[in-house]
A and B are shown apart, each in its own frame.
Chain A
Amino acid sequence: MSRAALRILDPGPLSTIQDLGRPGWFSIGVGVSGAADRRSLKLANRLLGNPEDAAGIEILLGGLELVAEGPVLLAVTGADAPITVDGVAHAHASVISLRAGQRLKLGMAAAGLRVYVGVRGGIAVDEILGSRSRDTLAGLGPDPLTAGVALGVGAAQAYPWPNVAVAPVPSMNSGVVTVGVLLGPRDDWFTDPRSLFTGAWQMSDRADRVGVRLARVGDGPPLIRINDKELPTEGMPLGAIQVQPSGEPVVFLADHPITGGYPVIGVVVTPDVDLLAQLRPGQHLRFRPAPS
């Protein structure tokens, strides 16, 4: 079914295989995982004629270099990393054709945090519990890529040919990003949950696929608990804004723990989780109430 099609020469700071994750395993303690910015992975797959859930490579910041071992079609989406093939620049969110021996190289992204490389046919690695995603918290799925690793590609004969050469995609926002939040389930644990929507927050440098820790910018009001009662452990959805005893929120991304013991003041709406996954340390964001 699969053939060695790509060889990794340099994985950059961190590159993992991701698809849309493994839903349905909460009963044995396994979360969904999958691409942190699902929209960008889906776009790469659509450009290539793949099903949206085909596996691609998620790269932190850029720096990946690979060589084609046979003819392949690729698309690069997500963060704005410069793309070259044998030194020649290529467009973001376009269909890129490589012959055997040609090298694709990504520079470091100027904006955004995660780059996606899709390949026609999808990356073919063994599925674990129905998914090819690396769950960095649970330690499931294929190991992060290292130099020298060869990747197979799935059969694509049944897929329609790509009919778009390049997709118009707005640049990554490197300024203040606004994300929508629905309050709850534990907003009643705070004296004024709506203070979440006042002022701005800053991404700390403690950000990974598990979640992003935020700090207050300026003199925005802190999040104050009504008491310090213990919350019995409960399930945590993707995008949950969990408030630590320090008052600083952590927003949960793809590899978040499925349960937690701190109250969740609100949850970032699904489409905006993709924006969060592209925020860089130091970047500012605002929360606004999402229409329910």
Chain B
Amino acid sequence: MSAITVPTAPPRILPAGDRSVLVATDDDADLVAFIDLLRHELPSGVDDFLPAAQTVLITMTDTADCRVVEQRLRELFRSAQASGGIGTAAQPDEIRTIPVRYDGPDLESVAAQLGITVREVITAHTRALWRCAFIGFAPGFGYLETAEPGLAVPRRAEARTSVPAGAVALADGYSAVYPRRSPGGWQLIGTTDVRMWDLGRAEPSLLRPGTRVRFTEAALE
């Protein structure tokens, strides 16, 4: 009797030192399902995991047996694929509304690069439903992606040494809001008063991977 085989690609588990591995896959749906499973049952020996664009970094405790953890990750990945690549999030994803004043210093150059008007940039940015793919660069800095095409611009050729908190930006097909003043190379299109990061809140970060975001246009002062 032979098992029924499903034509799915196994994950690539790449070495990343003596205490971590990078799980890579070309199938976004598999990755989302895998991350969902990790969220609900972190394998023993795993310290934390970090989803990014097409990978998940898995870090282990000092005492973890990497081979056992890798085996468990492969099993989890197979279960994720067997679930049909559909997330099984226990809670419905929240939608955060972020009012934006479209007054960024790069707004006109972004429009020029895309060959559309400033108004069309604003319309596209507010029409899209964005999803936080992952958090990186700084606490609370969410990489927001959307199924709607049309706003993909590269980073600036030269990074700014200081970008203010609340700056709304575009780069590499993502949108983001700077949670605090920091250097930054993204193209700035607007400003928000929403606090992306606040240690005074029970949940310091407004975003987590999976959070949905809708930008709305606020009146310029």
| Number of A-B residue pairs at CB separation under 8 A | 115
CB-nearest residue of chain B relative to A23?
A: B47
What A residues does B141 contact at CB under 8 A?
A: 29
Binding-face segment, A106-114, A181-189, A194-202: A181-189
With both beta carbons as reference points, the residue of chain A lying nearest to B209 in the complex is identified as A27
Whether B48 contacts A25 by the Cβ 8 Å rule is: yes
| Cβ-defined contact, A28 with B48, below 8 A | no
User: Is the pair A269, B53 in contact by a Cβ cutoff of 8 Å?
Assistant: no
* Minimal beta-carbon separation of B102 from chain A (angstroms): 25
Q: Measured between alpha carbons, how far is A258 from B50 in the docked complex, in Å?
A: 8
Determine which residue in A26, A183, A186, A235 has the highest number of CB atoms from chain B within 10 A of its CB, and name it.
A235
Least Cβ–Cβ distance between A231 and chain B, in angstroms: 9
Say if the beta carbon of B14 comes within 8 Å of chain A.
yes
Query: Which of A29, A30, A185, A240 has the largest count of B CB atoms less than 10 A from its CB?
Result: A29
Most chain B CB within 10 A, of A183, A232, A269, is at A232
Complex Cα gap A185–B50 (Å): 15
Asked if A147 CB lies within 8 Å of chain B CBs, one says: no
CB pair B139 A290 closer than 8 Å: no
Distance in Å: Cβ of A193 to nearest Cβ of chain B: 12
Interface assignment of B204: CB less than 8 Å from any CB of chain A: yes
**Residue from the list B138, B142, B209 in contact with A138, Cβ < 8 A:** B138
B158 within 8 A of A: no
A234 touching B135 by the CB < 8 A rule? no
Residue of A nearest to B58 (CB): A235
- Asked if B130 CB lies within 8 Å of chain A CBs, one says no
0/1 interface trace, chain A 55-99, chain B, CB 8 Å (1 if under): 000000000000000000000000000000000000000000000
Question: B137 contacts A29, CB within 8 Å?
Answer: yes
- A257 at the A/B interface (Cβ < 8 Å)? yes
- What B residues does A269 contact at CB under 8 A? 17-18
Instruction: Find out whether the CB atom of B15 lies under 8 angstroms from the CB atom of A182.
Output: yes
Question: Pick the contact of B136 from A25, A257, A290 — CB < 8 Å?
Answer: A257
B140 in complex: contacting residue of A28, A137, A259, CB < 8 Å: A28
Q: Is the CB of A237 within 8 A of B17?
A: yes
A236 within 8 A of B: yes
- Taking CB atoms and an 8 Å cut-off, the chain A residues in 28-69 that contact chain B are 28-30
* Contact A185–B139 (Cβ < 8 Å): no
Against B, the Cβ 8 Å flags (1 = close, 0 = not) of A212-232 are 000000000000000000101
Q: Compute how far the CA of A259 lies from the CA of B134 in the bound complex, rounded to whole angstroms.
A: 10
Within 127-173 of B, Cβ neighbours of A (below 8 Å) are at 134-143, 172
A26 to B143, CA, bound (A): 14
Q: Say yes or no for B97: interface residue by CB 8 A criterion.
A: no
Decide if B120 is an interface residue (CB 8 Å cutoff): no
Is the CB–CB distance between B15 and A183 below 8 Å? yes
Instruction: Please state if B180 and A24 are interface contacts (CB–CB under 8 Å).
Output: no
Say yes or no: B16 contacts A264, CB within 8 Å.
yes
Is the beta-carbon distance between A29 and B17 smaller than 8 angstroms?
A: no
Interface size on B, residues (CB 8 A): 41
Given A27-B208, A29-B137, A29-B138; A235-B17 close (CB under 8 Å): no
Q: Which A residues are CB-close (under 8 A) to B22?
A: 184-185, 234-235
Determine if A184 and B50 form an interchain contact, defined as CB atoms under 8 angstroms apart. Answer: no
| A25: min CB distance to chain B, Å | 7
Of the candidates A182, A184, A234, A238, the one whose C-beta lies within 8 Å of that of B55 is: A234
Q: Is the CB of A270 within 8 A of B50?
A: no
Give the chain B neighbours of A29 by CB distance below 8 A. 135-142, 205
Determine the residue in chain B with the shortest Cβ distance to A232: B53
Cβ-neighbour of A236 out of B48, B57, B204, B209 (below 8 A): B57
User: Does A239 sit at the interface, judged by CB under 8 A?
Assistant: yes
B205 & A128 in contact (Cβ 8 Å cutoff)? no
Check if B16 sits within 8 Å of A240, measured CB to CB: yes
**B183-221 interface mask toward A, CB cutoff 8 Å, 1 = contact, 0 = none?**
000000000000000010000110111000000000000
CB distance from A145 to the nearest CB of B (A): 20
Q: Which residues of A contact B135 (CB under 8 A)?
A: 26-29
Are B52 and A232 within 8 A (Cβ)? yes
Contact A28–B17 (Cβ < 8 Å) = no
Beyond the given A182-B17, A292-B15, please list 7 additional residue pairs across the A-B interface where CB-CB is below 8 A: A28-B135, A29-B142, A232-B52, A233-B52, A234-B53, A257-B137, A269-B18
Interface residues of B (CB under 8 A from A): 14-22, 24, 47-57, 59, 62, 134-143, 172, 180, 199, 204-205, 207-209
A selection of 21 A-B contacts at a CB cut-off of 8 Å is A23-B48, A26-B57, A28-B135, A128-B199, A185-B14, A185-B16, A185-B21, A232-B52, A232-B53, A232-B54, A233-B52, A233-B136, A234-B22, A235-B51, A235-B55, A237-B59, A257-B137, A259-B50, A259-B52, A267-B20, A270-B19
